[in-house]
A = this chain, B = another copy of it.
């Protein structure tokens, strides 16, 4: 038996006891963890300094890796928030009394053992543990090697808290940051119930291509906002600006503005605040003509085919001109990644058609796609945004980290 197999078997055994824990015990442990993180911030910062010393300060990962007193405080606060959320477990999801007297209930239960593979973000270590633990799951965390010292310090604190609360410390295993461990984890059927990759598209692709364990993809967002013929100009301007520039590096950020031909005259006005934020625009021929001379020329380019269906993750966007709602729907169906899509319109029929027709995790009318986020949906924390259609679509919060079982109570019934 490999070391990993032994570790995963311990997690599987621990998951059986976690499934039976009272939620009060779990919440108390999470509150203790929040306290312990604050109390041990020096040890965490010291470990983090070791990791940082090995990384070039110009590496874009440097800032994500870096912890501060304040960031540790924010991580601890998030743990307290998870503790205060209602338990997603032991809820009756369905109840049936059958003609033969069988009483059938569908009850939420933990998934079991969750594997999470992520990159150099030590906050994910605590975050993912808290959400998995609150939903009764054991978790195997495989972080990036760049953050190993930080992750080990955090895992040590978690293990100490679990132990002092009398909970099986195998609720969490921090796996060594070796590629071979990832490979083995992806094939640990029977020990691991699901794997969630968090990070770059290449990581997600690798996991999907190689895993035999079920995977929940938290994938790329190629996000459109369609400004309809009837759109309110102020709403359109505000929504496009917010969706593009609030946090350009996240998956719900706008990539392509689709504009109805009749509103090309308003395009310079919609685009104006984008120039102030330094947004580069790749415009199709009609939009380019509408913007030329009216948008910062250093930021305006003619769109090439690769500018549609691209997740920019930066202050870049494309503009597509359409002659009808149907053409907009067609563009989204062709180029979207089924993440978040929006219409800005004052026409109820166009709104209804858009909301019904667009196949995406979240579809918006007259609101910014920036709201695609578990907390904004009122779910508390989230472990990512699923772009697949099985099990969970959109934000993956505590409820989505559970499965269910059917409980059948009888009095000697047999099936004819």
Contact = CB atoms under 8 A, between A and B. Distances in A.
A309 to B, nearest CB: 12
Interface in A364-395: 364-368, 370-371, 376-378, 388-391, 393-394
Contacts of A412: 232, 234-235, 238-239, 366-367
How many identical chains are in the complex? 2
A203 to B, nearest CB: 15
Interface in A132-153: none
Interface stretch (A57-65, A210-218, A315-323): A210-218
A25 interface: no
A415 B363 contact: no
Contacts of A102: 367, 371
A414 B238 contact: yes
Contact of A393 (B235, B241, B405): B405
A194 interface: yes
A366 B403 contact: no
Contacts of A158: none
A367 B16 CA distance: 24
Interface string A84-106: 00000000000010100010100
Given A193-B390, A414-B242, A406 B362 contact: yes
A124 B392 CA distance: 28
Nearest to A390: B391
A181 interface: no
Interface stretch (A283-291, A292-300, A353-361): A353-361
A55 interface: no
A194 B389 contact: yes
Nearest to A404: B393
A26 to B, nearest CB: 16
A189 B212 contact: no
A306 interface: no
A193 B112 contact: no
A179 to B, nearest CB: 19
For the complex of A and B, list the 7 residue pairs with the smallest distance between their C-beta atoms, beginning with the closest: A367-B410, A242-B414, A235-B412, A370-B415, A389-B403, A391-B391, A390-B391
